[in-house]
Amino acid sequence: MTDCDFVAPPSGAPHCFEGPEKRLEIDFKANPDYPLGLRLVGKEQWQKMLDLAKCTIISQTSNDYFDSFVLSESSLFVYPTKVMLKTCGTTTLLRCIPLLLEYAQSFEMEVDYVVFSRKNFLFPRQQQFPHDSFPNETEYLNKFFDGDSFIYGPLNAEHWFLYVADYSKGEEAAARREFTLEIMMHRMDASVTPQFYRREGTGDHDKMPGIADLLPGSETDEFNFTPCGYSMNGLRDQAYWTIHVTPEDHCSYASFETNVSLVNPAKLNSLIHRVIGVFKPGVMTVSLFTSNKNNANPTIDLPGYVSRHRTVTEMQSCGAVTVWNFETEAIAKERSQPLLTRKSAWRSPYGRPREVRVVTEIIDSPSRPSDFEEIGMNLSRPGSPSSFSEGDRMEERESLDGDSLHAGMHAGMRETDSGSDNSDNELLCN
């Protein structure tokens, strides 16, 4: 399941939804004249920003520390000096940046730290600019920030993209206390997915049994989509956690994220065990960011799973990032067989054997996008002649919106525009 795998579903294929989310977090320097900072921004103003990403606020919950918004496509969390926005489907998350920065400037708050990340897409050709490739995302981000881009994991399997711009200095960086865990899960067990289809009598905000027990003592805001799909935001004092589920068997995906501090490896392992016990994924990627480099690279022991890859990076001033790829022992055993003898060897959701371009190099450490230009990847160096020109690509992508396949959640409904042209099934890497 890489950005190379699936381009557009063939005619008559089941509806497909892009579960893996795009994630943007921006931290700002506090302004003592505005102690509530970004929490002074009203719901209508946040919706105006989210219109740029093509998603809608469904519900809002707040506590003494932050505001939580469940969206038609994932979540928004707002602290006085931090915004974390996470959107799935074909949303255009990065287009929110100009208005978000405008809101911060109204309170005279300067950018301190920026992180954009996402897992590889299942259906990259359905994405709209600038999310049609990671180099375009990087170049778009560099219009506003001065950051670095990284790719974790093998390009012909599960991998994770990261962009970081750090403006903190000295004591500011040392004082940061950040801990973020993400678990991105594919191929959920068939016994799990039916739970996330809406049944007769199910209310929009009915609680999903067992979810709140993952982090006891939390307030949860849950939403059940029609005909299927589930989102949850949890508030636990100063920490958030969030879950999003796409249960369709042919593209099943679930994500879990929290910034609850879990520096104790035993507590970290316990939480991961509880999460995968609920969703039973066949394949998953785990990312861990910690501002304390001493807490980087903990041992994660998951019975029944095999760790395929692990990458650890120490950032100069903003902590460390560790990314793991896991798969079940059964899938690992199947993978060990010769390709032609496998019964279900990594087929696409539509039953056709997966087609992947040959990659002649295995990457075990994060690398800049430009490093892959010579190994068959369509990754343009930001600023090169092949990258987009100002305004041109934006207009081009917007003009294609009516013709591209779009699958999204809006106001609790999953929509499908079946008017796409599926004649081009050439698999490209993005």
- With respect to residue 242, please indicate whether it lies within any of the assigned structural domains: yes
Q: How many Cβ atoms sit within 10 Å of the Cβ of residue 266?
A: 9
Residue 16 lies in a domain: no
Q: Can you list the pairs that 100-107 forms with residues at least 24 positions away whose Cβ atoms lie under 8 Å? A: 100/26, 100/49, 101/144, 103/38, 103/41, 103/45, 103/49, 104/26, 104/28, 104/38, 107/31, 107/33, 107/34, 107/37, 107/38, 107/40
Examine residue 428 and state whether it is found in any structural domain, yes or no: no
Catalytic residue chosen out of the listed positions 131, 186, 244, 406: 244
Could you give the CA distance from residue 430 to residue 417 in angstroms, rounded to a whole number? Answer: 22
* Cα distances (Å, whole numbers) of residue 425 to 4, 10, 123: 11, 8, 11
pLDDT > 70 in the chain, percent: 73
18 is catalytic: yes
- Options 4, 21, 72, 251, the catalytic residue: 21
Residue 11 β-bridge partners: none
Highest averaged pLDDT of the listed ranges 285-289, 317-321, 417-421:
285-289
List pLDDT tens digits, range 208-266.
888 888 999 999 999 999 999 999 999 999 999 999 999 988 889 999 999 998 878 89
Q: Is 108 a catalytic residue?
A: no
User: Which one of 55, 88, 96, 429 is the catalytic residue?
Assistant: 88
Banded pLDDT at 80 (limits 50, 70, 90): very high
Our count of domains for the chain comes to: 1
User: What pLDDT score was predicted for residue 342?
Assistant: 57
**Of the listed 72, 75, 149, 231, which one is catalytic?**
231
Q: Which of 68, 72, 74, 218 is catalytic?
A: 74
Other CB atoms within a 10 A radius of the CB of residue 282 amount to 16
Residues 179, 268: contact at Cβ < 8 Å? no
**Does the residue 33 lie in any domain?**
yes
Q: 89: domain range?
A: 22-403
Model confidence at 67, pLDDT cuts 50, 70, 90, reads very high
pLDDT digits (tens, 9 = 90+) for 165-192: 999 876 665 566 789 999 999 999 999 9
Contact status, residue 114 vs residue 164, Cβ threshold 8 Å: yes
Greater confidence, 430 or 323? Answer: 323
Is residue 290 within 8 Å of 296, Cβ to Cβ?
yes
**How far apart are alpha carbons 413 and 350 in whole angstroms?**
23
Choice among 4, 18, 75, 287 that is catalytic: 18
In a domain, residue 13? The reply is: no
pLDDT at 428: 29
SS3 337: coil
Cα–Cα dist 9/70, whole Å:
29
334 is catalytic: no
> Which of 237, 208, 231 shows the shortest CA–CA distance to 69?
231
d(CA 141, CA 137): 6
Residue 410 lies in a domain: no
Assess whether 222 carries a catalytic annotation: no
For residue 76, pLDDT beyond 80: yes
Q: Cα–Cα distance between 207 and 302 in angstroms, integer?
A: 28
Do the domain assignments include residue 251? yes
Angle, CA of 202, 186 and 140, to the nearest 5°: 100
Q: Active site includes 44? A: no
- Asked if 243 contacts 211 with a C-beta cutoff of 8 angstroms, the reply is yes
Question: Mean pLDDT, the chain, as a whole number?
Answer: 79
Q: Is residue 420 part of a domain?
A: no
| 348 catalytic residue (yes or no) | no
- CATH no. for residue 221? 3.60.90.10
pLDDT at position 171, please?
A: 63
d(CA 186, CA 378) in angstroms, rounded, equals 25
